[in-house]
Amino acid sequence: MPVTDLLIRNAAEHGKEVALVELNPTMEDTRKYSFKEFDLVQQTSPRSYRRQITWQVFNEKANRVANMLLDRGINKGDRVAILMFNSLEWLPIYFGILKSGAIAVPFNFRYTANEISYCADLADVSVMFFGPEFVDRIRMNAEEMTKGRLLIYVGEGECPEFAEGYWNMVADYSSSEPGIRLTEEDHAAIYFSSGTTGFPKAILHAHRSLTQAAEMEAIHHETTKDDCFLCIPPLYHTGAKFHWMGSLWTCSRAVLLKGAKPDVILKAASDEHCTIVWLLVPWAQDILDALDRGEIHLEDYSLDQWRLMHIGAQPVPPSLIKHWKEYFPNHLYDTNYGLSESTGPGCVHLGLHNINKVGAIGVPGYRWECKIIDENGETVNHGDVGELCVKGPGVMLEYYHNPEATAETLKDGWLYTGDMARQDDDGFYYLVDRKKDVIVSGGENIYPVEIENFLQEYPKIKDVAVIGLPDKRLGEITGAIIETQPDSGCTLDEIEKFCNQLPRYKRPKQIIFAPVPRNATGKIEKPLLRKKYGAERLVEQENMS
C-alpha cells in the first residue's frame, strides 16, 4: 500500500489522539495562531515552545497542502522539495506532497547556496518549501531558482520578494482527501547521497520503500501504540524520518525535539514520557560525560518508562554501550546499518536481544537479505572480507537521471553498498572498512576529495591528504596531512584561517604537517596514513581520558 494510507487510517481510527509534538525547551513561544482549524495547535506553556497536533489535524494539514499543489498545476510525478529545520509543519508538508501524487525531495539543511541550486536542478524540482533560515542562501541564486519554479516561504515575518507565503496560500484550501489514486509502485521520494567526490546523486524510491520502512521499524523495535518516540535528528535524513515511521505504523506519539544537550534530552524524555530515543554517538557520549562529571543527575528526571536507546549513522564503540549500561542497566539497545539507497537504517540491524554482539552491525533486517562478495562478484568464503550487498523491498529504484551509477550499484536486485564487511559464525555482520573514503563525523558524511581540492588552492601547500581520525565523541574527525612547499614558512594559523571559508563541519579538526606518501600510480597511500596517525590519536585520547 502507499505510505499515505497509514496516515489516513490513523486519522480515521485515532483522529483525536496526539500524533506529533514540537518541543524547544529553550525558546519562549510568542507566536499567535489564527488560521482556523488549519492550525489547531495547543500552546501548553507560555514559557517554552511546545505545540502538538492530533492525527486528524496532521491529515487535514497534509490534505490542504496536497490540494494547494494540485490547484497550482503540480501533476503526479512532479518533484517538490523541502528545505526546512524540524518543525510541526515538516511532516504534514511531506505527506501533502505525497498525497498530491508528487515526489517529495528533502534537502540537507547544510547545503550551500550553490548546492541548493545544483540539487534543485538535478532533481527537476518544480516547487520548494523553505524556512526562514535559508532565505539568504536562496536569495544568492534567486534569479536561477525562480525560473519555472514556485518557492514557498514557511515561516514568521515578511515573506521574501522571490517567494509566496505558505500560511496565506494553504489556509483556505479544502481539508478533504485530494482523491489522487496511489499504489505502492508509484514514485514517492528522492533523497540525496554523495560519493567520495562530494557530488550528490538523487536516489529515487517508490511508496513501497517507505511503507516497508514503517513496518520494519515497528517490528525491529517492538513498537506499540503506547510508545513515544523522541526524534532529535533532522527529518531530511532518512534515518530520522524512517525511524519515525514506526510511530506512523503503530499510531503512536512522537516528539520533535530541538536541541541535543544532555539536560535537554533527558528533560524531554522525562516530561514527554518518551519510551524510545534514537541518539547519535556524540549525543550519547555527551550524556555519559555529563553524568560522569556530575553536571546532571538521573534522579532529577522520571525515566523509568524509557525502554530503548538505539544508535545509527556511524560505527558505535562497544565501550560506549558498556558505559551506557552502567547508568541505564534496564535499557534495551539496538544499532542499525543502512544507506539512503536502502531507505535508510534497518537493512541490517543488531536486534534488541543481541547486546552480547555489540560491535557488529547485526543480521539482515525484516524481509532483507545480505551477502558478501569479492571483486569478481562471487560470494566470499565464510569469515572472509568483501563488499556487503543487500536486497529487499526498500532498495531504491534508481539514481535519478544517472543510469551509469545505477548500473554500478544495482545488479540483479542487489544493492552494492561499497562497504567492506565480514560475517561471523553466528551470522552477524561486521564492517571492516569503507570501500570509499567517506568520513562519518557525528553522523554526517564528509568527502575528503572535496576538502583536498580546496586546500590544494592554497599556494603554500604542495600536497594534501584528508583522512578520518578516530574520535571518542564524534566517531571520526577530519584530519588533513599537509605537505608544504619548501621554505614557504606556512603556519598552522594561516591554514586554519584559510579553512574558515569552508562550512564549519567540513573544516579539518586536526592539521598535521608531514610528507604525503603516494604509490607508483600516483595514488595517495591513505591506509598507511590512517594506520600511523590513527594510532597516534588513539594513544593521545587514551592519555587524555
Beta partners for 360?
A: 358
How is residue 8 written as a grid cell? Answer: 489516513
How is residue 235 written as a grid cell? Answer: 527529518
Domain residue extents for the chain: 4-229, 440-544
* Residues 6 or more apart in contact with residue 325 via CB below 8 angstroms: 331, 333, 355
Contact criterion met (CB below 8 Å) for 80 and 102? yes
DSSP 3-state percent helix, strand, coil across the chain (nearest 5): 35, 30, 40
What span, in angstroms and rounded, lies between the C-alpha atoms of 358 and 349? 11
**Beta strand 439-441 pairing with 444-446:** antiparallel
What span, in angstroms and rounded, lies between the C-alpha atoms of 418 and 268? 37
Coil/strand/helix, residue 239: helix
Alpha helices in 42-165 (DSSP H): 55-71, 90-99, 113-122, 135-140, 142-145
Residues 187-211 pLDDT 10s: 999 999 864 345 789 999 999 999 9
Residues 473-490 pLDDT 10s: 888 999 999 999 888 899
**Beta strand 18-24 pairing with 79-83:** unpaired
CATH superfamily ID and name for 4-229: ANL, N-terminal domain (3.40.50.12780)
CATH match of 440-544 with 3.30.1200.10: no
Reported in sequence order, the residue ranges of 269-412 that DSSP labels E, i.e. its strands, are 276-279, 308-312, 332-339, 344-349, 363-364, 369-373, 386-391, 398-399, 410-411
What span, in angstroms and rounded, lies between the C-alpha atoms of 191 and 236? 8
Contact criterion met (CB below 8 Å) for 192 and 215? no
Angle 100-101-107 (CA atoms, 0-180°, nearest 5)? 85
HSE-CB for 288 with a 13 A CA cutoff: 19
What span, in angstroms and rounded, lies between the C-alpha atoms of 468 and 64? 46
- Over the Cα atoms of the chain, what is R_g? 24
Contact criterion met (CB below 8 Å) for 77 and 125? no
Coil/strand/helix, residue 524: strand
Regions of the chain with pLDDT less than 50? 29-47, 195-197, 520-521
Phi and psi of 54, rounded to 5°? -85, 170
What span, in angstroms and rounded, lies between the C-alpha atoms of 394 and 347? 8
Given the C-alpha cell 531530511, which residue does it identify?
Answer: 236
| pLDDT of the residue at 37 | 37
| pLDDT of the residue at 524 | 78
CA torsion sign for 338, 343, 349, 352 is: positive
What span, in angstroms and rounded, lies between the C-alpha atoms of 289 and 301? 17
Residues 209-225 pLDDT 10s: 999 999 999 999 999 99
| pLDDT of the residue at 43 | 43
Contact criterion met (CB below 8 Å) for 419 and 431? yes
Residue 308 identity (one-letter amino acid): L
CA torsion sign for 68, 72, 78, 82 is: negative
Specify burial of residue 497 (Cβ count, 10 A radius: 0-12, 13-18, 19+): exposed
Contact criterion met (CB below 8 Å) for 248 and 10? yes
pTM, entire model = 0.82
How is residue 336 written as a grid cell? Answer: 542499525
* Residues 6 or more apart in contact with residue 495 via CB below 8 angstroms: 455, 458, 461, 480, 482, 511
